[in-house]
Amino acid sequence: DAKTTQPTSMDCAEGRAANLPCNHSTISGNEYVYWYRQIHSQGPQYIIHGLKNNETNEMASLIITEDRKSSTLILPHATLRDTAVYYCIVRVANSGSARQLTFGSGTQLTVLP
Amino acid sequence: DAGVTQSPTHLIKTRGQQVTLRCSPKSGHDTVSWYQQALGQGPQFIFQYYEEEERQRGNFPDRFSGHQFPNYSSELNVNALLLGDSALYLCASTRQGNTEAFFGQGTRLTVV
């Protein structure tokens, strides 16, 4: 699976949009971009994933560049409860078995009141 | 619908002892993966079980072993505990062919 690069930490004001970048310049054509987050002392939580097109769900939006070498996770209206470590993961999906997730160090997002 | 449940939530063991951690997957899920998360780091994949067999394994020694039962629940066993085994142990469940993994709250293991 391709390697990802994320900033170590970011701050965001409550109520504003949080934009979390991720670089994955070695991504292959059949690899998806996944985002998980981990609130302190809890297990990671799935947020969203995508291949080429931008994706949106009730939690967030995922913007993937046309060359697929980077992506941005957008939390449109950050709240204090969004403070967490956010992990960007690249992996092959639908490969016949649920492949392992390779976590990096992630981005610590702190939402400030 | 209960999600992924792990037991116990916290555990303290002495160096050299053996420990067993348990995981019940989310309803409808048949694949269980185990991860180790040291303080300040991302989770590291240990192994994955499907159809009661180990299917994938990460870079962990043989002291780490597991089992999956017919009801899809799973155990993680660690023998000859080292101080460095102190970590949060996470269980994740999925359904074969599905890409979204659900994680439990983890078991905090402290080796003294």
pLDDT tens profile B45-100: 999 999 999 998 999 999 999 999 999 999 999 999 999 999 999 999 998 777 78
pLDDT at residue A93, rounded to an integer:
67
Segment A59-68 shows an average pLDDT of: 96
Q: Which residue of B has its CA nearest to A105?
A: B42
Cis bond before residue B43 (omega within 30° of 0): no
Interval B20-33: pLDDT, tens: 999 999 999 999 99
Q: Do B104 and A96 touch (CB under 8 A)?
A: no
Q: Which of A39, A101, A107 to mutate to test the interface with B (most CBs of B within 10 A)?
A: A101
Q: Distance between CA A63 and CA A53 in Å, rounded?
A: 8
Segment A1-28 shows an average pLDDT of: 93
Q: Which of B4, B53, B93, B99 to mutate to test the interface with A (most CBs of A within 10 A)?
A: B99
Q: Are B48 and B55 in contact (CB under 8 A)?
A: yes
Q: Closest Cα to residue B58, out of B42, B46, B73, B75? A: B46
> What one-letter code names the amino acid at A60?
A
State the smallest CA–CA distance between residue B90 and chain A in angstroms: 7
Q: Are A108 and A18 in contact (CB under 8 A)?
A: no
Q: Which residue of A has its CA nearest to B93?
A: A98
Is B95's Cβ below 8 Å from some Cβ in A? yes
Q: Do B97 and A96 touch (CB under 8 A)?
A: yes
